[in-house]
Every structure is written in structure tokens, then in C-alpha cells.
């Protein structure tokens, strides 16, 4: 039977740092969509996103980031943010954005998001054990 294995201090802090970076980025990204700044309006137009959706997308980003940041709801936040990032990837594919800098940015952020959660949550590591 699988048992919870204590998290090493290094893994825990690495997970917290990765998760913190993701949360800070998402809070910033969500906040600029609430205002919305000129760069948000212009980017929305270039990507074919109606500009009146900026506030809604900002609220979704902030909600997902806050759910992810709170330990009791971090798994739910990670799942919701994964779906959100998948939508962002689709928009960039459809718009013909550059692959490595724009289109795959959601993948990069998702990998950091899940790696951070994996390193700081022993229950997740119990479900998906890393084998050597």
C-alpha cells in the first residue's frame, strides 16, 4: 500500500518558488486585463478576441491563480488553469502566432504550474509516483 512520503525541504521550497512565480505572473496578467491597458486591447484585437471580454478573462485568471495559491484548493486551481491555458494556446494557434515564444508559452506555464504543485503536495506525488 502506498503511504505518504515526507517532502524534502529542498523539494518543498522548489515547489513553493515555482508556484509563487506562476501565481505572481497570473496575478499580474489578470490585473492588467481588469483595467484594461492599451496593450491588452491591442493584443486582443490582434488575436481576434472581442475586447469586451478582457475583464471576464482577467477575473477568470485571478480566480484560478487564487485557487491555485491556496493549498486546500490548489488542485482545483491547477485543473482550471490548465483548461484556461489550453484555450490560450488554441487562440495563438488560430492567430498564427510564433510557436516557441507565444503559442507554447501556455505549455511552459502549465509545466511550471504542475511541477510546483507536484513538488509541494505529497498527495499528488502519491497519485503519480516518480519512479527511477
Q: What pLDDT is attached to residue 131?
A: 73
pLDDT the model gives residue 7: 82
> Residues in the chain with pLDDT < 70?
1-5, 132
* pLDDT at residue 2 in the model: 61
Contacts of 41 (CB under 8 A, 6+ apart): 51, 54
- Asked if residue 120 lies in contact with residue 15, where contact means CB atoms within 8 angstroms, the answer is yes
Q: What is the CA radius of gyration of the chain?
A: 16
The residue behind cell 494557434 is 93
Listed in sequence order, the residues at least 6 apart from 99 whose beta carbon sits closer than 8 Å to its beta carbon are none
Q: What is the reported pLDDT for 36?
A: 80
Q: What is the pLDDT of residue 130?
A: 78
Amino acid at each position: 500500500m502506498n503511504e505518504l512520503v515526507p517532502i524534502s525541504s529542498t523539494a518543498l521550497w522548489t515547489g513553493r518558488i515555482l508556484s509563487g512565480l506562476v501565481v505572481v505572473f497570473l496575478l499580474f496578467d489578470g490585473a492588467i486585463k481588469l483595467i484594461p491597458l492599451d496593450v491588452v486591447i491591442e493584443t486582443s484585437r490582434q488575436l481576434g478576441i472581442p475586447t469586451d471580454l478582457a475583464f471576464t478573462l482577467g477575473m477568470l485568471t485571478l480566480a484560478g491563480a487564487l485557487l491555485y495559491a491556496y493549498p486546500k484548493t490548489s488542485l482545483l486551481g491547477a485543473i482550471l488553469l490548465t483548461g484556461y491555458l489550453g484555450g490560450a494556446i488554441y487562440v495563438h494557434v488560430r492567430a498564427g502566432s510564433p510557436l516557441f515564444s507565444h503559442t507554447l508559452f501556455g505549455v511552459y506555464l502549465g509545466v511550471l504550474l504542475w511541477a510546483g504543485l507536484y513538488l509541494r503536495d505529497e498527495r499528488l506525488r502519491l497519485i503519480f509516483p516518480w519512479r527511477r
